[in-house]
């Protein structure tokens, strides 16, 4: 997951609004959002990469108790190149979200446990929603935040890093909230393929061509790109609407999944 924008307690009827793009290599096997056979209360996409290290976790999901979790990786370099080798860590970041959705451990207690084990993971950002509260944690800043109402943006740096796509998506979401919208119309925020001007690009240590490619909300290249766009609306009556648009290797729309959930 490489772009998440959240409106938290900004809308009078929807205390949580999430729009998010998951970017990944096309070759990495994935299953789109579904109720998991081994954990039937969890509704999320699933990483199907098979190895002793990978626990088939998720980048984003909800459960029947009304919880929400999402994770993004940190953009980090190794030997002068972007580091994609998660297996060099002791544990997979995809389990951070999966374990929260599979459990009933209070969010703060869960985050305290993760904090004690944070060195086992490569760089991550984690968002958790429980009982109308939104929490943010990262092992690159070493603290947990209970967020205040507002519009937040998260990519592969710390929360609200002023990257062009984060700024743009936050502005687009704030604008949409000023008029009538639906989960379907919010998907348009995630479809923007315009790359940022060179002078606006962040300097994250990668080459300029890669910075340009990764600067748009929607990414498409030969081997890597946006695989899924997701909108989550959590209503004050606790009903949740989950809409996921999946994309193929050609950057074209494929399966669309919609769920309306009334939490237990």
Break the chain into its structural domains and give their ranges. 3-261
Distance of alpha carbon 68 from alpha carbon 66, whole angstroms? 7
Residue 90: its pLDDT value, please? 78
Residue 91: its pLDDT value, please? 87
Task: Report yes or no: 98 and 44 within 8 Å, Cβ to Cβ.
Answer: yes
Class at the top of the CATH hierarchy for domain 3-261: alpha beta
> Which of 196, 156, 185, 251 is closest to 19 using CA atoms?
185
**Residues in the chain with pLDDT values less than 50:** none
> Which of 238, 124, 33 is closest to 115 using CA atoms?
124
58: left (phi over 0), alpha (psi -120 to 50) or beta: beta
Work out the angle at residue 7's Cα, subtended by the Cα atoms of residues 4 and 10, and round it to the nearest 5 degrees.
175
Task: Report yes or no: 123 and 149 within 8 Å, Cβ to Cβ.
Answer: no
Distance of alpha carbon 2 from alpha carbon 106, whole angstroms? 26
pTM as predicted: 0.94
Residue 261: its pLDDT value, please? 97
Residue 105: its pLDDT value, please? 96
């Amino acid at each position: 997951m490489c772009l998440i924008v959240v409106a938290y307690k900004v809308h009078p009827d929807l205390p949580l609004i999430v729009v998010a793009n998951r970017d990944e290599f096309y070759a990495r096997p994935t299953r789109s959002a579904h109720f998991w056979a081994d954990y039937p209360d969890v509704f999320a996409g699933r990483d199907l990469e098979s190895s002793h290290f990978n626990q088939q976790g998720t980048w984003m999901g909800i459960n029947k108790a009304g919880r929400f979790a999402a994770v993004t990786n940190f953009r980090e370099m190794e030997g002068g190149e972007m580091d994609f080798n998660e297996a060099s860590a002791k544990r997979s970041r995809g389990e951070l979200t999966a374990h929260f959705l599979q459990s009933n451990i209070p969010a703060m207690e869960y985050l305290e446990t993760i904090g004690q084990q944070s060195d086992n993971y490569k760089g991550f950002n984690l968002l958790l929603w429980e009982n109308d509260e939104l929490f943010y944690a990262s092992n690159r800043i070493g603290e947990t935040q209970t967020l205040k109402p507002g519009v937040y943006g998260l990519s592969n740096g710390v929360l609200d890093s002023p990257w062009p796509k984060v700024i743009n998506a936050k502005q687009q979401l704030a604008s949409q909230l000023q008029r009538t919208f639906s989960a379907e119309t919010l998907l348009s925020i995630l479809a923007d393929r315009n790359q940022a001007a060179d002078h606006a690009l962040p300097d994250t240590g990668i080459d300029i061509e890669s910075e340009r490619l990764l600067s748009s909300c929607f990414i498409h290249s030969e081997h890597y790109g946006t695989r899924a766009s997701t909108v989550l609306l959590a209503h004050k009556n606790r009903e949740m609407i989950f809409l996921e648009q999946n994309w193929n290797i050609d950057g074209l729309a494929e399966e669309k999944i919609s769920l309306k959930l009334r939490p237990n």
